[in-house]
Amino acid sequence: MALILEGKSLALKKEESLKKKLENIKEKISFLIIQIGKDESTEVYVRQKIKKSEKLGFSPIYKNFDENSKEEEIINFIKEEQKKSDIYGVICEQPIPKKYNSLKIIESIDKEKDIDCLTPYNLGRLVWDNPIFYPATPKAVVDLLENYEISTEGKRVLIISRSIIIGKPLLLILLRKNKIGDATVIVAHSKTKELKELTKIADIIVTAVGKPNFLKADMVKEESVIIDCGINVIEKEGKSLIVGDACYEELLNKVKAITPVPGGVGVLTTINLLENLFLSYERKKGV
Ligand SMILES: NC(=O)c1ccc[n+]([C@@H]2O[C@H](COP(=O)([O-])OP(=O)(O)OC[C@H]3O[C@@H](n4cnc5c(N)ncnc54)[C@H](OP(=O)(O)O)[C@@H]3O)[C@@H](O)[C@H]2O)c1
């Protein structure tokens, strides 16, 4: 049976530590969450962020632009709101509807408040292995590997995703010269041919595809480690269930280690984002 790489207790530890730090702060620490258009899973993430941040004492400000909104209106809103002295973070939820120039919108975010690490500046800092903020989900993957002392040094790590929020930044992190780094990274995506040939040779597989039952036991080798970033809602026996990309039950009996969904990468992502928010506050205050 595989080792279960659970993220819950680590997330709780981070939460406790952040709560303690916030107890002594009387100032309001606000941040903007901007959503453009409607998207069911984005709304789930947004609700989680609002709930968790309020519980810890942060003040989230949520703004949902409908798809008729003009790009300039969104950009002006970001530029004006982020000037306010109690705003320490700006999140613009992905995906941004295709009709907009996403890069232009993201570029309007102040790099010092880009707690989601999406601006070209912050992604560029990641290339230099010197980021101001680590992106929350890739950082959650690193946290889990670190916590369970799974080094990636010299290992073949397959990332199944080239998205801007997971695959691309994680590629950069795993290439840095570090114990969680120094990997031989392979990146797969929807145009990759013969994916099974790659999954079979990978020591560690990080999947972030967004398709349930995507990674099956016959695709991987026995000694592999599976990190599942996928969050998918399925209907089973009349109930809504959250599952990852991996066939968890069958992989559990084959691989060396695997993350559960929920309770693996996802629980760490929100708290990592809030850690970035607090870091932004500390920097501004010169702590
Ligand atoms: N755990 C967390 O905290 C967290 C955070 C954010 C997102 N998520 C979840 O992670 C998943 C991905 O989210 P995302 O926003 O990164 O999605 P995304 O932008 O749609 O990226 C999905 C990636 O999977 C690739 N892909 C799709 N079908 C494939 C196939 N058949 N074979 C190989 N690769 C394939 C896509 O390739 P192309 O580039 O070629 O299209 C793309 O690179 C979702 O389930 C989402 O809910 C989890």
Domain match, 140 and 260 both: yes
What CATH number does residue 227 fall under? Answer: 3.40.50.720
* Choice from 166, 170, 234 to test ligand 1 binding pocket (greatest atom count within 8 A of CB): 166
Does the beta carbon of 230 sit less than 6 angstroms from any atom of ligand 1?
A: yes
Domain match, 227 and 110 both: no
Does the beta carbon of 206 sit less than 6 angstroms from any atom of ligand 1?
A: no
Domain membership of residue 97 as a residue range: 28-116
The verdict on residue 19 lying in a domain is no
* Choice from 93, 207, 231 to test ligand 1 binding pocket (greatest atom count within 8 A of CB): 231
Pairing relationship of beta strands 239-243 and 232-236 according to DSSP bridges: antiparallel
The verdict on residue 109 lying in a domain is yes
Does the beta carbon of 191 sit less than 6 angstroms from any atom of ligand 1?
A: yes
Domain match, 163 and 261 both: yes
| Per-residue model confidence (pLDDT) at position 276 | 98
* CA angle (53 as vertex; 106, 78 as ends), nearest 5: 25
What CATH number does residue 88 fall under? Answer: 3.40.50.10860
Domain match, 240 and 146 both: yes
Q: What's the structural domain count of the chain? A: 2
| Per-residue model confidence (pLDDT) at position 40 | 80
Q: What is the pTM assigned to this prediction?
A: 0.97
Domain match, 254 and 192 both: yes
**What sections of the chain are H helices per DSSP?**
8-23, 40-56, 71-81, 102-107, 120-127, 136-147, 167-175, 195-201, 248-252, 265-285
| Spatial distance between the Cα atoms of 285 and 154, rounded to a whole number of angstroms | 40
Does the beta carbon of 122 sit less than 6 angstroms from any atom of ligand 1?
A: no
Domain match, 141 and 246 both: yes
Domain match, 166 and 65 both: no
| Spatial distance between the Cα atoms of 252 and 250, rounded to a whole number of angstroms | 5
Domain match, 144 and 101 both: no
The verdict on residue 73 lying in a domain is yes
Domain match, 55 and 86 both: yes
d(CA 215, ligand 1 centre) in Å: 13
| Per-residue model confidence (pLDDT) at position 167 | 98
Does the beta carbon of 163 sit less than 6 angstroms from any atom of ligand 1?
A: yes
DSSP category for residue 261? S
| Per-residue model confidence (pLDDT) at position 287 | 75
| Per-residue model confidence (pLDDT) at position 111 | 98
| Per-residue model confidence (pLDDT) at position 44 | 85
- Average pLDDT across each block of 10 residues of the chain; the chain has 287 residues. List them in order: 97 97 94 94 91 96 97 98 98 96 98 98 97 97 98 98 98 96 98 98 98 98 98 92 96 98 96 98 91
230 membership: H or E segment, kind and range:
none
Domain match, 50 and 140 both: no
Name every residue whose Cβ is closer than 8 Å to that of residue 13 and which is 6 or more positions away in sequence: none
The verdict on residue 161 lying in a domain is yes
